[in-house]
Structure 1
Amino acid sequence: MKIKILPSCFILFTLLSGFGAMAQTDEYYRPDSLKPKTPERKEIPPVEKQEFIEKKKEVDFKQQPFVDRVRLGGSFGLSLGTVTNINLSPMAGYELTEKLVAGVGVTGMYFRSKLFGINSLYYGGRAFVMYSIFPMVNLIGELETMNVEVDTFQKYDARKWINSPMLGASYSQPIGGRFIKAVHFTALYNFNYNNQLDDYGNNISPYGSPFVFRITFL
């Protein structure tokens, strides 16, 4: 009985092994389009944390406090040698609008010439307006009054006040200061230069020319 069972089991095992091998062979030779697709793994780039910085709102010009519209500075000059000229002119201005600045200043000037025997002190003040016509170009109007020495028929080395209405322009370079906001390279023309004479017909302007050039910090 046992002899008959063993051949039957052997035949059944052989048939099952053959079916398994055929199934594997069919899977191997199956076209790629019929094979089950394995899902591809997509790489997801890391999400950068975006920090949103709230932009600081610009304050309207009319809402700016008084101190933020004040400008302080001035001009100075120094020349030593046969002719000594020391000029110091502190100035203060106020921004009336975004383009218009008005202000005042005082001027002290020491002038000495060994050649002509002049040893004199000039002093006075000025009022000015500066209007920005382009971002770095300004139109400037100024009225300066100076007390100078003058020779008259009655007295030598007398003193006299002279007025100088001037008009010109400046090229400005911002420097980012709180009160000194720019340096201005200025050229002005004195419309009253030819009338600033003493009794002998000599010009008594402290600048020596109708053209006035300055470097001003304001």
Structure 2
Amino acid sequence: MGKKILIITGSPRPNGNTNTLVAAFMAGAVASGNEVQIFDAVTRELNPCHGDCSCFERGYCMFKDDGVKLHELMGWADVLVFASPIYWKGFTSQMKRVIDRFNPYNAPKGRASCSVTETYLISAAITPEINIFNAVSQEFVHLNEILNFKICDELLVPGVEKINDIQKKPEYIKKAVEMGYRIGQSQLQEEEQNIENTIKKSFVDSPLRRHQEGCWLI
């Protein structure tokens, strides 16, 4: 039986390498019978967390912005996927704002309203060295420990600078499809032909394939 997957995207470059990986991941997840919804942190209106912790009593944030929808989706999803390029060795500011709004789930009432149990991380960076992801990976682990989520997998792609650089690394696109495809499967089976076909179709009519001329994308 498939799972309900919430992907939070934090790249301000809609047609960049991180979102290309998300499109591949999403194609694989849908192909294996999962439901997928996307919360785009870049286009959503989210107030920053004020840190008064009044949400601990209510179980949700006081702001009547798109955090209401985020809270609804956190109660819907079984699986949460963080997708962000690396900016200054960390998550983008858009992704960090979403993470800060997870504060209600750090208390019993809010945590009871959240159905997420498993998480994944997708990230791309300009820097070719893999240690560029150290800070984000550490924050990801810390977040999951606090909220008692189970880390299932991560896909970290270094050395992608310009738009479509990820196309020069098809092995990572394949890994993204496989990672999505395997969610909700009771047994992990090698279905290479299905995966290859999904890769070929993963970008056709994808909601993330938005054209943006002349941008330097990550």
Query: Is the structural similarity TM-score above 0.5?
Result: no
Larger radius of gyration, structure 1 or 2? 1
The structure with the greater share of residues assigned to helix is 2
| Higher RCO (C-alpha 8 Å, min separation 6) | 2
